[in-house]
Amino acid sequence: MKFFADTANVDEIRELAETGLIDGVTTNPSLIKKSGADFKQTIAAICEIMPGPVSAEVAATDAAGMEREGRRLAEIAENVVVKLPLTIDGLKACRRLTDDGVMTNVTLCFSANQALLAAKAGATFVSPFIGRLDDIHIDGLILIQEIRTIYNNYAFRTEILAASIRSANHVRECALIGADVATAPPDVLKALASHPLTDKGLETFLKDWASTGQSVI
């Protein structure tokens, strides 16, 4: 399973990249707003730190406008993935960009039928939003399961990029289902490593080691 960092904060991305555990980055207009930084400069800076796929979202809503913006974003770096909304226009732009070799991420996916269309449009990634479905009392993980089944049925190559992940448990469930990628905020990614028994065990080991008076080197 690949892990993407869902943030536009360059410092956070740099810190996570140093772990060697992160395979890419996803951004969206809200995350860009939160960063307070210039959109295209931020994407360029992220692409320098992170060699894996970096999603940057278009702002136009018509197919021609999205295609134009997508081509401009794709010029920033070769690892830019053009993020397009799951609308008919977004799917049209997806097909055109994909046919020209531009990586695409069809976002704001909330149903299995939408994901089916994204795959038919040749999307590199589809982003089903788990947390936002949970917010309205619909189990987002069932959506991931349905998409996995449909993509397997027809050997679609579009990768399932589970998004709007809010907890370490979401990541675990997505991994069990077989999502290709989980994109999560830095605090959720860091939480994957933590366990109280690890902390307690380490504390005991360090105490016992200190009492031996030995050194490793």
**Amino acid (1-letter code) at residue 26:** T
Comparison of 142 and 206: residue with beta carbon closer to ligand G3P: 142
Side-chain-side CA neighbours of 81 within 13 Å: the count stands at 25
Comparison of 131 and 178: residue with beta carbon closer to ligand G3P: 131
Angle at 108 between CA 80 and CA 67, to 5 degrees: 45
Give the CA distances from residue 156 to residues 55, 69, 84, 111, 179, in Å, rounded to whole numbers and listed in that order.
21, 26, 19, 16, 13
Task: Choose, from 83, 92, 200, 207, the residue flagged as catalytic.
Answer: 83
- Quick check: 79 and 49 in contact, CB under 8 A? no
CB of 130 to ligand G3P, least distance (A): 8
CB of 119 to ligand G3P, least distance (A): 19
Q: Which residues bind ligand G3P (CB under 6 A)?
A: 6, 26, 28, 129, 131-132, 163-164, 183
Comparison of 115 and 163: residue with beta carbon closer to ligand G3P: 163
Residue nearest to ligand G3P (CB): 164
User: Is 83 annotated in the active site?
Assistant: yes
Angle between helix 112-120 and 140-154 (nearest 10): 40
CB of 55 to ligand G3P, least distance (A): 8
Active site residues: 83
